[in-house]
Amino acid sequence: MKARAGRPGTPAEKDQKAPTAAPYHVGTLVYSRGDLQRLFFWLLLGDFASNVMGAALPTLLPLQLSARGVSAATIGWVLSLAPLATIIFSPFLGVWSDRLRTRWGRRRPFLIVSTPIVAAGMLLLPHIQNMLLLQVVVTVVQIANVLQTILLYLYADIMPPSLMGRFMGGFSFVGALGTMAFQYFLVPWFGTAPTMVWTICAIFYFVLFQLSVHNVREGQYPAPEPTRRSHILRGYLKDGAGSWYIWCLWAALGMNALAGPAGLYYNLLCRDQLGMSMRAIGMMNTVATIPRLFVMLPGGWLIDRFGPRKLWGLFSLLSGGVTLGAWFWVRGSGAMLLYMLLSGALGAFTSVALMPMLYAHLPKDKFGQLVSMQSVVMFTLIFLSTNAVGQLITLRHGDYFITFLYGGPIMMLTPIFILLLARAKNPFAGMATALARDEGVPVREGGFDHN
């Protein structure tokens, strides 16, 4: 039986002309406008659920451990298990997902397997009292979370390049809604009913994310070339770490990764040094998310119009400046709210631009392996930074304000690496990216296919 063109995730015959109702092509996939609407719905539903889970782990774990009297240094170590798991497993999974061929696709199997593991771990976490056992469960959950990052590779395989920026704007918008819902409805209850909050997050994430993954289909991929494992490793290192261009890209993205862990301690700053209740903290975080919602959709349009590089450099600089300034003027809950509003609005642009930076600069044929190398570099920085910030706070006798002085200047270095990247020779010139205006348009030597 011939596959019907225009159905989301249905391979189209190579010699079959696309009907006017199905104008969008991605590899062997053909979409009509209705198909795209359904595709967007299921992907964004999964993104909403994923962001509830993604907000829960780094928000609830520090609060849970701090309530038990665990030091900031130890909290930093537990939180750093996430980047450590990524550093170890991401290279293998990135190459594997590029080369895997199953009837479910090459990306979806990883998502189907990892989702119940993450959900089960979240159900267990509030019941574990032994620190060693808790670290084991957190490690297992974070390894499963590494598999979840393959969702981002899936987008490159199934999303029309001409709509990628707008999709990422919607992706960030819906993700912010998920985070806001978590902060508003669940965080205020964590002080009195932590088990209930963990349980709601786990079940909500499991049901909606599995629905999303099962309602999206991948196309057909050409068989991977038979290659010796030693050659795969050599190519992995050469492509991911063998050029000035790629290290400029990693550094441009890495400044935000290095600065980001400072934000993990903001809730503790508000609670322990500003005297805010959990309800007030949840409300503040919810309100601070609102400006992000107004920025993300136009941010996606700006990426399609101008490319992500300019947005990433400019708004990283502005975010760093605001964070550094907070060291001088944040001394109360009102000032902290103002900082969160400014930081949230500026950070929304970098949030929207993050994946387009990868989609624009990395070729689709090597996307999984290169993003896995990016993950190794970024999460190495996050691992080191998370522990460094925890130790720094401990040395400062619990002074969480030092996080502003730590994160701000680091983010302000980003434009330097953006300028170096723009002048570097692209080793992937001639290979199609997921953010080219039309699939198959080659990347120019200076970067991506945007003016």
Count the domains in the chain: 1
Written as six digits, the tokens of 267 are 């809730």
How many whole angstroms separate alpha carbon 80 and alpha carbon 382?
Answer: 7
To the nearest whole percent, how much of the chain has pLDDT over 70? 90
**CATH number for position 326:** 1.20.1250.20
* C-alpha to C-alpha distances, 276 to 76, 182, 403, nearest whole angstrom: 22, 18, 18
* Residue 334, domain extent: 24-423
Mean pLDDT (whole number) for 226-252: 85
Q: What's the rounded mean pLDDT across residues 235-251?
A: 92
Residue 16 domain flag: no
In this prediction, residue 125 carries a pLDDT of: 93
Specify the higher pLDDT residue, 411 or 173.
Answer: 411
Q: Does 253 map to a domain? A: yes
Closest C-alpha among 281, 208, 270, 266 to residue 53: 208
- Provide the pLDDT confidence category of residue 318 given band limits of 50, 70 and 90: very high
Burial 419-438 (b: 16+ CB within 10 A, else e): ebbeebebebeeebbbbbee
Query: Among 417, 172, 124, which residue's Cα sits nearest to residue 303?
Result: 172
Tell me the two tokens of residue 138.
């957190």
402-411 and 244-259 helices cross at what angle (nearest 10)?
160
Residue 386 included in any domain: yes
Whether residue 5 contacts residue 28, with contact meaning beta carbons closer than 8 Å, is answered with: no
Residue 5 is assigned to a structural domain of this protein: no
The residue type of 15 is D
C-alpha span between 338 and 330 (Å, rounded): 9
Q: Please report whether residue 28 resides in a domain.
A: yes
**Could you read off the pLDDT of 122-167 as tens digits, one per residue?**
999 999 999 999 999 999 998 998 889 898 889 988 988 878 777 8
Q: Among 420, 383, 413, 428, which Cα is nearest to 320's?
A: 413
**Cα–Cα distance for residue pair 368/82, rounded to 1 Å:** 19
Confidence category of residue 229, pLDDT binned at 50, 70, 90: low
150 falls within a domain: yes
* 436 lies in some domain: no
- Quick check: is 440 in a domain? no
Give the list of residues 6+ apart from residue 186 with CB closer than 8 angstroms, or none: 56, 197, 200, 201, 282
